[in-house]
Structure 1
Amino acid sequence: MWYQTKATRLLNIDYPILQGPFGGGLSSVELVSTVSNAGGLGGYGAYTMSPEEIYAIDRQIRAATDKPYNLNLWVSDTDAPGGLATEDQHKKAKERFGAYFDELEIPFPEKPAPFASRFANQLQVVLDIRPKVFSFMFGTLPADVLEECRSKGIVTVGAATTLDEALALEASGTDMIIASGFEAGGHRPSFLDSAEASTTGTFVLVQLIREKVKIPVIAAGGIATGRGIAAAMILGADAAQIGTAFLATDESGALPIHKEMLFSDAAKYTMLTRAFTGRLGRGLTSRISRDHSGKEPAHLPFPLQTTLMSSLRKAALDRQKWDMILFWGGQIAPLLKHRKAKHLMNSLIEETTEVFNHLKK
């Protein structure tokens, strides 16, 4: 059967369908448990959370499902040297972004406080609680960490946006690789080259990686239907990770307006931009992302740009200035149909089965 793959055996799940682990409050216990209970792999993005918060959310997930689930962290969670933005960077950001704050009649923020990486403490939590699956982005893990994960029965999954990154992940001892195409919504998890130079499409990337690596490959980006899953698997993927379609469901932690935007005509237009967070990510096209397209960067380094823009986001939400907000979403959004995660899972399974049954005729 199509759903019996290296990925399902390694992850101990029924279907090779993974829910993208959204960070920044977009994941939810209900979404993770719904996907896992339906035979897929639910995922929770925890890179913005404190160790105490991760412990607490893990207890909630375990109470909602006895199936495998995935916790996700970012190996590199800052681009700011020493966690700091310089005065010159803050000045340039004010020159470039100040007009938006003026438009909403709110003060331009002071330079953000220094950011201290949280990854080491977050990683210790993962090793303590032992989720079935630990996925990570923006880098590789040290050999001793991967060995400890193996000794504790934790399956490790790294994200690659290029063949070189996939080779680096395999060489490090990672168990599985997510082939993250540029069609995907959210941040581009590049780590060997700039994100702008790492924009291979999902189906090309899957083929390149499948040709060169021996460990299971998970296709991600531009997949929201059973046809997409089947196509990825025919090209060599052992599973598919689906983000935008699950983000749009009632069970996700996204704001209601975010979900409505993903089902609207606005979802036909997406862009890659650094304007909102400082790292390149894909969301629905906004006035701010258009204004900064192709211009010399004037944003603060990640995640300080997110901090800088937080008051603008709040004011824009309060005043329904949707064109000033980044709504994460991938290029596949115009195909979204399901608002319930269980219905989406059922549709994905049924449609993929139909595709493979048709190929047998």
Structure 2
Amino acid sequence: MALCLEHPVVVAPMAGGPSTVGLVAAAGAAGAVGFLAAGYRPPSTVAGEVAEVRALGRPYGLNIFVPSSTRPDVAELARYRSALAPEARRYGVDLPPLRLDDTDHFAEKVELAAAAAVPLVSFTFGVPDAATIATLRGAGCTVIVTVTDVAEARRAAAAGADALIAQAGTAGGHSATTTPAGYDPSSTAPELVAAIVAAVRPPVIAAGGTGTAQHVRRALAAGAVAVQAGTAFLLADEAGTRPVHRAAVSDARSGPTVVTRAFTGQPARALPNRFTRTYSAAAPVGYPAIHHLTAPIRAQAAARGDREAVNLWAGTAYADAVAEPAAAILARLGGRR
């Protein structure tokens, strides 16, 4: 299986809007690989986007969420739902009932990826079983699993993954950790890459804290075959980042990022706001139940342009992000190999 990476920088999948067909197409035109984000999207929409990108004739990737294998504590979720009542009143929305079962159409998305022979298929939030990986590999897909520590890397390698994404604690958005209750966000990309490269055989792509060419060089020097960057592309002309999110990333007063479960029940790195300050300590582990619970609040806040209750995902290097075409960002982070 080939990683087909001509450029040292991969454009990360960013679910919830930032990843678009246009962003993936721009990455491909610049000689890099961009990933579509299948998360939160119905299979029909994902299939349409895959068809659009496939027609361009350039390598690309598709990211799929692995369903959680553990059930959350319903009593803790109910307590958190009650705690969010003031936010529902503030934004004039109703909190939905707790939604405990959600596979995000995992089987259907794996099936469509295999049917389309998507060149690169990555997974987040868990290690897919060996049968799933074998099915995709049999269809000609290169399978990549996102891991956050050596133990997860060993599980992914044993399951047959062709490559790994070593996601450090500095990365923006959700951590792919499979142990969210005890997640430690202190790792950097170079140190995590070095540890994983020493432990397993599959090639490793670094992720986390990438905003400059120097960051890219450090990750490559640690043993990575490429660097996956997401936050650096939040302001790209082709990204579908919401205006309120763009404004926050562009604001030098946003301050240091924080890791919080407040919005979704899974540790995620974001810019701080009133919501993170008020609810981070109370939020239990419970992805994606909490994601669905807070969705109406976040949607209404975004519609109002109110950054105080929106999940402003961002990595530690967000201040290096620049509003420019994706091709210019790729050139700034590092040229072709």
The 5 Å alignment of 1:1-361 reads: 10-63=2-55, 65-76=56-67, 80=71, 86=74, 88-89=75-76, 91-104=78-91, 106-113=92-99, 115-117=101-103, 118-191=105-178, 194=181, 196-197=183-184, 199-293=186-280, 295-297=281-283, 301-350=286-335
Look up the equivalent residue of 2:43 and give its one-letter code.
P
Q: Which has the higher contact order (CA 8 A, sep 6+)?
A: 2
Look up the SS of the partner of 1:34 in the other structure. helix
Look up the SS of the partner of 1:10 in the other structure. coil
Q: Unaligned stretches of 5+ in structure 2?
A: none
Deviations 1:314-355 (A, max 9, x none): 3322333212211111110111234211111122224x98xx
1:292/1:78 CA distance change after superposition, 3 Å: farther
**Contact 1:28–1:44 (CA under 8 A) maintained in structure 2:** yes
Look up the equivalent residue of 1:73 and give its one-letter code.
I
Using the alignment, how far apart are the partners of 2:39 and 2:304 within structure 1?
29
Look up the equivalent residue of 1:16 and give its one-letter code.
P
Greater alpha carbon shift after TM alignment, 191-200 vs 156-165: 191-200
The alpha carbon displacement at 1:18 in A equals 0.6
Output the TM-score relative to the length of structure 1. 0.86
Output the TM-score relative to the length of structure 2. 0.92
The alpha carbon displacement at 1:206 in A equals 0.9
Deviations 1:195-244 (A, max 9, x none): 52464222211111111222211110001221111111111111100010
1:166/1:194 CA distance change after superposition, 3 Å: farther
**Contact 1:47–1:119 (CA under 8 A) maintained in structure 2:** no
The alpha carbon displacement at 1:116 in A equals 3.5
Look up the SS of the partner of 2:295 in the other structure. helix
Using the alignment, how far apart are the partners of 2:141 and 2:77 within structure 1?
41
Look up the SS of the partner of 1:214 in the other structure. coil
- Residue identity over aligned pairs, in percent, reads 27
The alpha carbon displacement at 1:25 in A equals 2.7
Larger radius of gyration: 1
Question: How many aligned positions are there?
Answer: 336
Displaced runs of 4+ in structure 1, greater than 3 A? 77-81, 88-91, 112-116, 192-195, 296-299
Look up the equivalent residue of 1:68 and give its one-letter code.
P
1:264/1:198 CA distance change after superposition, 3 Å: closer
Look up the equivalent residue of 2:235 and give its one-letter code.
A
1:317/1:199 CA distance change after superposition, 3 Å: same
Deviations 1:92-126 (A, max 9, x none): 1243212222333x244241455431211211111
The alpha carbon displacement at 1:263 in A equals 1.5
Using the alignment, how far apart are the partners of 2:197 and 2:99 within structure 1?
43
Q: CA RMSD in A?
A: 2.3
Using the alignment, how far apart are the partners of 1:144 and 1:163 within structure 2?
22
**Contact 1:159–1:178 (CA under 8 A) maintained in structure 2:** yes
Using the alignment, how far apart are the partners of 2:45 and 2:159 within structure 1?
29
